[in-house]
Each structure stands twice: as structure tokens, then as C-alpha cells.
Structure 1
Amino acid sequence: MSLLKKCFALGAVAVVLLAAAAGGGYFWATSPVTLSAPVVDVTIKPHSSVRSVALQLVRAGVALAPEPFVLMTRALGLQTRLKSGNYEFKSGVTPYEVLQKLALGDTNEDVVTIIEGWSFKRMRAEIDADPSLKHDTAGMTDAQLLAAIGAQEKDLANAEGLFFPDTYLFDKGSSDIDVYRRAYRLMQQQLARVWIERAPGLPYQTPYEALTMASLVEKETGRAADRPLVAAVFANRLRIGMPLQTDPSVIYGLGEAYTGRLRKRDLQTDTPYNTYMRRGLPPTPIALAGAASLEAATKPAPTGALYFVSRGDGTSVFSDTLGDHNKAVDKYIRGQP
């Protein structure tokens, strides 16, 4: 049933019952409530009784009389339909409208959007800047934050890649820990699913290694059709012991030392993430991987390609041999025919 239809149904019942009630009760139910401010936010706790709901409203600044509110709620048969959450009430609202809003669950929600390819540091900055959240993680280290959300990783020193990029709805005033916990659990669910459905013969042994691969794919291309091909190139290189040679991983390892342009000396600076100097996967993911990159990492394209180079338009050329790759580099990087 649509919100409009629900409102109409509740309104029709209310008119009949309230009209049958004493005139004073009807007047009270349809008269504006005094608020402590022009707009009042109220958070109703889960599993609250009708009386508790009334008291929470009063304490938050909605000055309605608890006993008449309880009687009205029971008269309308709504005592089991009041929903928890954060609600916004504005000047002029009546007790009946307050009740209607609670019965329909018309909560005051906000959203935070986490983007694929962000680092965990960038994710934290986005959440920290959201004024609608309660910032309980302020001052926490990454390890403390992971412990607070109940993360199961043995090593809590690195949170990179453990959260699923998505848009998360929340009630205003919610703890930021709730958002982190939901994003973590959703990544665990997504990763478990793709790992169960993975292609046979992958050159990585654990879901975490697949997550690391997915993060490389996420940073290498934003083109959906190229993701399984990029994953295949990296998987093929791992199989033969060839360095992955992926620039995003090198950049991640440089951290604050990266100036915006990758130079030859950067490629020669040894870090755990320098995939030119070190073989195999980097030790952790380098970014938040989305669903498409998780799928690509666990189901690479069936190709023998070992190389790829960008055409400069968002697409890439994939090559099986170094000779073909060099020709593509000459054409698309050096501008030679």
C-alpha cells in the first residue's frame, strides 16, 4: 500500500473515532503541539511501548500530553504499529499528525555515498564530514575502528578494501559505527558470494587475495567490458611469476610522497606495493572494490593476454605478446604509426 493510501486509511479511521470522542479530546488531537524549536528531531528507540514513545517525544521537545497520546494511540489500534527511527517535526504539527507519522514510519533519513576506487582514508573523510551522523569513531585508529565493528580479520592493522562502496541510508543522529559495520558486513557478503562462484584455477588461494586483485582491477579501469580482461592479464602474470607492474599499486605505496605524476624513480622506489620490483599480489587491497571488480577478479576473461595499454579514451588494447604490446604502445602512447 502506498504512503498516500496509508495516510488516507489512517485518516478515515481517525475521523470516525475522534468524532465519537469527547469534544475536548478531538480539539487536543487536532491542535498544534508546542515545540522547543521550529524543527525538532526525535529518535524513537526500537521496541518502545506507547508510553515510552510519548515520553521520548516530550524529552526531545515535542510537548504533547503523554496520557491523551497513549489513549488516542490505543483508540486507533496503532499501539503495535509505532516504528523506531529518527523523526523530524515542524511547528504546527498536531498530536494526531505526530501519531500518524510514527505509525507510517515516516522517518527523517539521510544518506552517505561511498564510491568505488576510494581509499579507506577517503571513505573516513567522507563519513567524518557528514553532519547528520554521530561521530563515535572520531580519534580512533583504523585498528580500533575495526575492533569496534567486530571485524574478523586476524590483522586489524589495515582496513583498506574491507568495506563495500554503496549508498547507505541512515536515521539522522545515527552512530557512524553503524555505517562502517553495515559496509563491512556487505563486503563480507559480496566477497563470500563471488568466492563460492569463482572460476576454477585462479592463482590466488583466499577470498582476501581475490579482494586484493579486485582492488587492482578497480583502480586500473572504469570500463565494465575491460575489467575481466584486466583481471585476466594479472592472473596470467601471476601464473608465470611475471611482475604485475600495475601503476596504481605503486602510487598507493608511495602514499603522501606521490606528487600526482609517476616518475621513473618512483618505479624504482621499493615499497611492499611496488609491483614492478616485487612479484605477486601487494600485501593488502589498495582501494574499495565494487561488485563488478569483485566479479572480474573471480571470473577473469578466458584469454592468454599478458599486456594492456590505454588508448587514451577509457578503453585498452590487450596483447598476448610483448611485440604486439610494443606496437600498441608506439601507437597510443608515443603517437607513432
Structure 2
Amino acid sequence: MKKLGCLLAAVILAGLAILGWFGWGWWGSSEVEEEVAFIVPSGSSVTSVAQKLEEEDLIASADAFLLRAKILGSSDPIKAGEFLLPAGASGAKILGTFQHGDVIRRFVTIPEGTPSAIVHDILMAEELLVGEIPVPEEGSVLPESYDFERGEDRVTVLARMQRAMDEVIAELWPNRTQRTVVDTPEEAVILASIVEKETGVPEERRMVAGLYSNRIRQDIMLQADPTIIYPITGGRPLGRRIRQSEIQAINDYNTYSMVGLPRGPITNPGKESIAAVLDPEDTDAVYMVADGSGGHEFNSTLQGHNEAVERWFALRRERGEM
């Protein structure tokens, strides 16, 4: 009887030891020595993920992981994406991360006023994206920061950028005021692209929009320098001063040789520039010139404008720029 009791106690202790070992292998032990990113491919099963974890030396055994996951883990489905596994992550922590953790989101930023040729360059230079894209239609992309997942297709990210522009136009267009001179959303984007390129001062956008709106109403040429450059470079920097022959060039963009809007946008305008042309400043200004501080001086008369130009030239001579 005493021997039977000792045997029973030994069996219980052995069982407890096995259970402890089994549980420790799930909740306690870890092969993850330092924080690491792990990708769960789309359509993966727990089995395929366990094999991938073993191949990357993040678990000791795929079979042991699967057995413990089946008995001790949740039956919730795993998600595809890139996950961050912390140093010391146990099997339970790893499975929980794939089931309920946040996918790592990365960001690509398109600054306001970025032309489509450079949008293309930015997306193609992002090494964590895949696939090819054409240069998007000018004015179709909303400048903003966009999140993406490692391995996401560039076509998908670009479509998200273009959908965002469509949504902004749909949001802003119904709220346009009577001061706007644009008759269609397409014209709004064209004029907004000029405003975007003509001022780097956010507070000036509505004023610049008001000035150009006045010129359109009065059939005065817009004379916006960026419209000279666009057909030459396709939106890329010119890298030199504009030539007199280029100022006089006749084409569908150069607003020094035509009245009204160019045939299309010259860049991708931001939301605030679009809002500015739909609600321009109530002003009588039709002239502007740089004021030396990054902004502009606005005038309603040619005499006032010429005086402002002289002040600008004097400042440039003082700076040694002329």
C-alpha cells in the first residue's frame, strides 16, 4: 500500500512536471533575443506561419508551437501583415500578436505642390512597396502622408492618394462661394495648382487666389511663372532662370501668352489651396511681387506694383543677387 502511494505521488509529480514544462514552453520560454519585425503573408495558416517562425529561429520547433497553440492558445484567426515581436516574446505572445496585435504601418509623404512626375519618383523609391506605376495624371493626387504595409503594391497606394483627392473635391465643391471664378471641379484644381506654386506662405493662399480670380474676371493674363516652366520640365525644377523665348512661347500652359487657365494642373495642389480658390479673398488686387520675406506685396494699381517691384529690386541688389 505504501509503495502504491509512493508510485501515485511520483506519477502526479511527473505529470505536474510535464504540465509545467508544457506551459513554460508556451507562456515562459522564448527564442526571440531582440525586437524583430515578422511578416505574416496574406493567406497564411497557423501551420505555415509556425514553419516560417522556425525557419527564422524565432521558435524552437514548429510542431511544438502548433501543439501548444491548439491546446493552450486562442482559436481566433491570424491577420496578414508585418508585426513587431518584442524581445523575449513567448509562443503565447507571438500568437496573440498575430491574432490581435497592430500591423506595423509605414508612411510615405507627398508634400503640397509636388508634381506627378515627382510623386512617381517618391513611390518608386520606396523600397518596401512593390510593383510598377505610371506617372499619375497631374492634379489627381492629394498631397498628404499615407500609411502602407511592407510589400503593398504601389498601384494600391497611388489609388488611395487619388481617392483622397476625389474625396476632398467632393467635400469642398458644394461649399464654394460666389467669389470663385471656376465653373467645374477640374478648373478648381487647375487654379489651385497655380496658387500652390506661387506662394509658400499658407496665409497668402486666399489672397493669391483672389488676385488670380480678379485677373480671370477682367480677362487679364495670369502671368504665372510656374506655367512657363511646366511644359518645359513636366513639373520638375527648371534649375536655371527662365529665358525670354520661354516667356513668349505659345502653348496650352504658358499664361504669359494666353488669357485664362492653362489646359490642366501644373502640380498636385493641397486641400488648403483648393479651398482658397473656392473661397478667394475679397480683394481688388491684380498685381503681386515678392517682398523679400518669403511672401508677396499685393497691389491694385500698376503704379503701386511698379513701386513694389523697385523695392524688391533694391533689396536684391542689397543682397548681392543682382
1:32 maps onto 2:30 in alignment: yes
| Aligned-partner SS, 1:42 | strand
1:166 maps onto 2:144 in alignment: yes
For residue 244 of structure 1, what is the aligned residue in structure 2?
222
The worse-fitting range, judged by mean Cα deviation, of 249-258 and 204-213 is 249-258
Could you list the per-position Cα deviations for residues 79-101 of structure 1 after superposition, in whole angstroms to 9, with x for gaps in the alignment? 16x54422244775421120232
For residue 152 of structure 1, what is the aligned residue in structure 2?
none
For residue 7 of structure 2, what is the aligned residue in structure 1?
none
Q: Check conservation: 1:42, 1:56, Cα contact below 8 A.
A: no
1:114 maps onto 2:91 in alignment: no
1:331 maps onto 2:311 in alignment: yes
Taking every aligned residue pair, what percent have the same amino acid on both sides? 29
C-alpha change, 1:172 and 1:298, in structure 2 (3 Å) is: same
The worse-fitting range, judged by mean Cα deviation, of 322-331 and 103-112 is 103-112
Q: Check conservation: 2:179, 2:282, Cα contact below 8 A.
A: no
1:42 maps onto 2:39 in alignment: yes
For residue 247 of structure 2, what is the aligned residue in structure 1?
267
Q: Which runs of structure 2 are paired with 1:1-20 in the superposition (5 Å)?
A: none
1:23 maps onto 2:20 in alignment: yes
Q: Which runs of structure 2 are paired with 1:1-337 in the superposition (5 Å)?
A: 22-29=19-26, 30-33=28-31, 39=36, 41-45=38-42, 52-59=45-52, 61=55, 64=62, 65-74=65-74, 79=76, 82-89=78-85, 93-134=89-130, 136-137=131-132, 140-142=133-135, 159-255=137-233, 258-334=238-314
Q: Check conservation: 2:179, 2:279, Cα contact below 8 A.
A: no
Could you list the per-position Cα deviations for residues 233-281 of structure 1 after superposition, in whole angstroms to 9, with x for gaps in the alignment? 1111111211110001111121179442112222012232110001211
Distance across 1 between alignment mates of 2:273 and 2:286: 18
Distance across 2 between alignment mates of 1:34 and 1:229: 58
Displacement of 1:210 after TM fit?
0.3
Displacement of 1:71 after TM fit?
3.3
Task: Give the root-mean-square deviation of aligned CA atoms.
Answer: 2.8
Paired residues, number: 290
Larger Rg: 1 or 2? 2
Could you list the per-position Cα deviations for residues 25-46 of structure 1 after superposition, in whole angstroms to 9, with x for gaps in the alignment? 31221333589xx956313538
For residue 4 of structure 2, what is the aligned residue in structure 1?
none
| Aligned-partner SS, 2:166 | helix
AA aligned opposite 2:94? V
For residue 150 of structure 1, what is the aligned residue in structure 2?
none
Could you list the per-position Cα deviations for residues 98-142 of structure 1 after superposition, in whole angstroms to 9, with x for gaps in the alignment? 0232244232332111111111111111111112212x12xx433
Q: Check conservation: 1:254, 1:271, Cα contact below 8 A.
A: no
AA aligned opposite 1:22? L
Q: TM-score, normalised on structure 1?
A: 0.77
Distance across 2 between alignment mates of 1:283 and 1:329: 29
| Aligned-partner SS, 1:87 | strand
C-alpha change, 1:56 and 1:320, in structure 2 (3 Å) is: same
Q: Check conservation: 1:163, 1:288, Cα contact below 8 A.
A: yes
Q: TM-score, normalised on structure 2?
A: 0.80
| Aligned-partner SS, 1:28 | helix
Distance across 2 between alignment mates of 1:90 and 1:57: 17
| Aligned-partner SS, 1:41 | strand
Q: Check conservation: 2:215, 2:222, Cα contact below 8 A.
A: yes
AA aligned opposite 2:158? Y
Displacement of 1:176 after TM fit?
1.5
Unpaired segments of 5 or more residues in structure 1?
A: 1-18, 147-158
Unpaired segments of 5 or more residues in structure 2?
A: 1-15, 318-322
C-alpha change, 1:57 and 1:281, in structure 2 (3 Å) is: farther
Distance across 2 between alignment mates of 1:181 and 1:57: 34
| Aligned-partner SS, 1:86 | strand
Q: Check conservation: 1:117, 1:289, Cα contact below 8 A.
A: yes
| Aligned-partner SS, 1:22 | helix
